[in-house]
Amino acid sequence: MTDSTPPPDATTADATTPEGSAASAASGSDVPVLSARDLQVAYRTGKDASVRALRGVSFDLYPESSLALVGESGCGKTTLGLALLRLLPTLGEITGGTVTFTGEDGRRRDVTTMTQGQLRRWRWSEAAMVFQGAQNAFNPVLTIGQQMADTLVDHAPGRIGRREVLERSAEALRSVRLEPRRVLGSYPHELSGGMKQRALIATSLLLRPRLLVLDEPTTALDILTQRTVIDLLAELRAEYKFAMIFISHDLALAAELADRVITMYAGKVIETGSTRDIFSAPKHPYTSKLINAVPPVSGDLPELASIPGAPPSLATLPPGCAFAPRCELATDECLQAEPELITLTERPADMTHAAACIHHDQVHHERKVIARA
């Protein structure tokens, strides 16, 4: 399945399917805002060559919940975020699977089959993304006010007047603790990194979307500004009731912002569960090693341990488990076939703890504390 333009009626599921049944009319907390099923993405690397960047990703995101995608660079986190909103670069395409979005009216739509016109109306109004690096996300030759106005005019349902544009832009900026009089007339380079990031978040929330995807929103910020942005996101989520996908390599931030965590490696989901389960009792050796490589914000100072080696090339994946070459628990059995997610603990809704490791019962997570002199 690609991003090519489908038939005009391709976004609405047939009434005989589960997606188009009467059950979809009720959009409650038990109905996911977003459902990905066997999502696959490939990047073209030559005339007849491509690399599989996502290999069968599936998950559900429920209303007002927060999901963190964690893992090292190159594991597929950003590709997944871009694919969910059909914002992949030119060389990337969705080659299989579905992404189903359920609006507040209960209507379910497959994002992978939307036309460009339908995508334009859906983005920002129902699903928005905060990109990594606000300086690159904003147009440097337009003021913040002009760019917020463009977003409203282009994506708001129906016509919107100049006065309403100004009022809604000012309201959005105040919600992220920015002074509208100063920011609306400023160019991006005239704002600090933290102000730009908050202005970008304000722009993403202009139309009160039901889903917000954030790709490393605090990477380029100092630790104090990071704290401000994280507190702000928690407050905004409580106020506006949006569901959130938080992409990060910073596990401390993920633990603080997310209800649920997905660990990705080599383009696949290798562990998923509630934040409590993942951080207190991870069942995949990769997740455990990620946690042990990050210093805690408080408490005793643990002995940090890096993960040996590097993630595999997606063009030449090793046989069996992709993490096996870096795993101390790996056996010959790990090299025979790639393990599937195994359900370990049943939880309500989407909090089930699962891991793709045949040695999950041998993963005993502990952090060694450095002895003080």
Distances (CA, A) of 6 to 1, 13, 119: 10, 13, 12
**14, 113 contact by CB (below 8 A):** no
Between CA 279 and CA 292 the distance in angstroms is: 10
311 part of a folded domain: yes
Both 270 and 225 in one domain: the answer is no
Task: State the distance between the two ends of the chain, measured CA to CA, in whole angstroms.
Answer: 60
CB neighbours of residue 310 within 10 Å: 11
Helix orientation angle between 193-204 and 223-240, rounded to the nearest 10 degrees: 20
2 part of a folded domain: no
pLDDT (tens place) for every residue of the chain, 373 residues total:
444 333 333 333 333 333 333 333 333 468 999 999 999 999 998 878 899 999 999 999 999 999 999 999 989 999 999 999 999 999 999 999 999 999 998 999 999 999 999 999 999 999 999 987 777 789 999 999 999 999 999 888 777 889 999 999 999 999 999 999 999 999 999 999 889 999 999 999 999 999 999 998 887 778 888 888 888 999 999 999 999 999 988 888 888 889 999 999 999 999 999 999 999 999 999 999 998 887 765 556 566 778 888 999 999 999 999 999 999 999 999 999 999 999 998 766 567 899 999 999 999 876 655 544 4
Both 54 and 132 in one domain: the answer is yes
136 part of a folded domain: yes
* Nearby residues of 163 by Cβ (< 8 Å), 6 or more positions away: none
370 part of a folded domain: no
pLDDT number for residue 250 = 81
Name residue, tokens 């129906």. Answer: 158
Task: Please list, residue by residue across 17-48, b when 16 or more beta carbons sit within 10 angstroms of its beta carbon and e when fewer do.
Answer: eebeeeebeebeeebbbbbbeebbbbbeeeee
Q: What is the largest CA-CA distance in the chain?
A: 71
Both 93 and 213 in one domain: the answer is yes
228 part of a folded domain: yes
Final residue before a domain boundary, out of 211, 236, 259: 259
Final residue before a domain boundary, out of 230, 259, 288: 259
Both 166 and 303 in one domain: the answer is no
Both 269 and 231 in one domain: the answer is no
DSSP 302: B
Distances (CA, A) of 372 to 294, 296, 302, 369: 19, 17, 11, 9
pLDDT number for residue 285 = 95
373 part of a folded domain: no
Task: Tell me the sheet residues that pair with 50.
Answer: 44
For residue 373, what are its two tokens?
């002199």
Both 250 and 113 in one domain: the answer is yes
159 part of a folded domain: yes
Both 194 and 326 in one domain: the answer is no
Both 186 and 163 in one domain: the answer is yes
Between CA 179 and CA 202 the distance in angstroms is: 12
Q: Three-state SS across 311-339?
A: CCCCCCCCCCCCCHHHCCCCCHHHHCCCC
The three-state secondary structure class of 156 is coil
What's the number of domains the chain is made of?
2
Both 252 and 351 in one domain: the answer is no
pLDDT number for residue 25 = 34
pLDDT number for residue 29 = 66
Please report, for the domain that includes residue 253, its CATH number.
3.40.50.300
23 part of a folded domain: yes
Both 130 and 223 in one domain: the answer is yes
pLDDT number for residue 293 = 81
Q: Does an H or E element contain 60, and which?
A: strand 50-61
**320, 335 contact by CB (below 8 A):** yes
pLDDT number for residue 306 = 82
266, 271, 276, 277: CA torsion to nearest 10? -150
Final residue before a domain boundary, out of 259, 275, 290: 259
Write the DSSP string, 87-103. ---TTEEEEEEEEEEE-
Both 303 and 182 in one domain: the answer is no
Both 76 and 203 in one domain: the answer is yes
Which residue, 323, 250, 262, is CA-closest to 293?
Answer: 250
> What residues make up the domain containing 127?
18-259
H helices within the chain, ranges in order? 77-84, 116-122, 134-137, 144-155, 162-175, 180-183, 193-204, 223-240, 251-257, 275-280, 285-292
